[in-house]
Structure 1
């Protein structure tokens, strides 16, 4: 079973993403802070990480740098940057820092599935 970590300070965003992912048979974990997300990544193999750029506790670059080391020799998860800002500079910065793709918030079911499908995670 594929496992996804949703790292977002918004309980509503985590709840909606969890609902979509569970419909796709993902095992879903949640974190609302950068340190919480890193702890999950250290202890559990994660296939996909959906994270908010403004995750409390670390700057986005600090978080992504720490994530590189959190899993040890484990496989690096696919990293999806979830943003409510439709700013090309912001999205570019996230991709340059290590995100593989991005997802606009608030997302709907179709958009969510399309993003995961384009990343090779959904049919």
Structure 2
């Protein structure tokens, strides 16, 4: 059974989600505020965090940032952020802080379940390919370890950003639209807000490019999408 930590101050919503996900094979531990959630994350095995943006003691964006600052596997736990705000900028900032995905309130429990399964599937299943280590100059993508490094230095990527990078690298030299990237990573499209790909791309470039403002590896094809350059930097 996979374990989910839900940091949510709405007790009624937390109970509803816990019951629904429990019926679908997940163990959900609710935490009503940021402090108790962060404490539980560090003392119990957690496979995924559902994080509300609006919490009584701390902004959800700060909580996400603190999670990403934790050492080792704790800092890499997938985070699905819940937001009641309609402004796309709040969602963009959440992704920039390291969230793997987001879901605006109100939401359908079936969609939440689908997103959780998609995130955990990406986390637990390496892409099907014979080459488990891909090398592009100083950039190395280790599929078995789900680790990306540049010149031997590990890159700080979320599980979603890792999968976006792999999807591009697998198709090096081929221009992909945002929809194609989302389809390759999610398995099926669950979100029409395709500008989130741009946010993730910026984070990936910051991690792997020597100069993110003048990228050499992940190139933008204006009006179309992105392409992973085959050649050396």
Q: Which residue of structure 2 aligns with residue 103 of structure 1?
A: 103
Whether 1:73 and 2:72 are equivalent positions in the alignment is yes
Q: Which moved more, 1:103-112 or 1:5-14?
A: 103-112
Q: Which residue of structure 1 aligns with residue 143 of structure 2?
A: none
Q: Secondary structure at the match of 1:64?
A: helix
Q: Which has the larger radius of gyration?
A: 2
Matched pairs, number: 120
Whether 1:49 and 2:55 are equivalent positions in the alignment is no
Alignment check: 8 A CA contact 1:33 1:56 kept: yes
Supply the RMSD in Å over aligned alpha carbons.
Answer: 1.8
Measure the CA separation in 1 of the matches of 2:119 and 2:68.
Answer: 20
Q: Secondary structure at the match of 1:119?
A: helix
**In the TM superposition, what is the alpha-carbon distance from 1:69 to its structure 2 partner?**
4.3
- Structure 1 moving runs of 4+ over 4 Å: none
Q: Which residue of structure 1 aligns with residue 21 of structure 2?
A: 21
Alignment check: 8 A CA contact 2:53 2:61 kept: no
Alignment check: 8 A CA contact 1:13 1:106 kept: no
**In the TM superposition, what is the alpha-carbon distance from 1:112 to its structure 2 partner?**
1.7
- Unaligned runs of 5+ residues in structure 1 are none
Could you report, residue by residue, the CA deviation over 1:2-26 in whole angstroms, capped at 9, with x for unpaired residues? 1001101101110111012101211
Measure the CA separation in 1 of the matches of 2:94 and 2:114.
Answer: 19
Whether 1:118 and 2:140 are equivalent positions in the alignment is no
Q: Which residue of structure 2 aligns with residue 37 of structure 1?
A: 37
The within-5 A match list for 1:57-68 is 57-68=57-68
Larger RCO, structure (CA 8 Å, separation 6 or more): 1
Q: Secondary structure at the match of 2:58?
A: coil
Give TM-score, length-normalised by structure 2. Answer: 0.48
Q: Secondary structure at the match of 2:80?
A: strand
Alignment check: 8 A CA contact 1:84 1:106 kept: yes
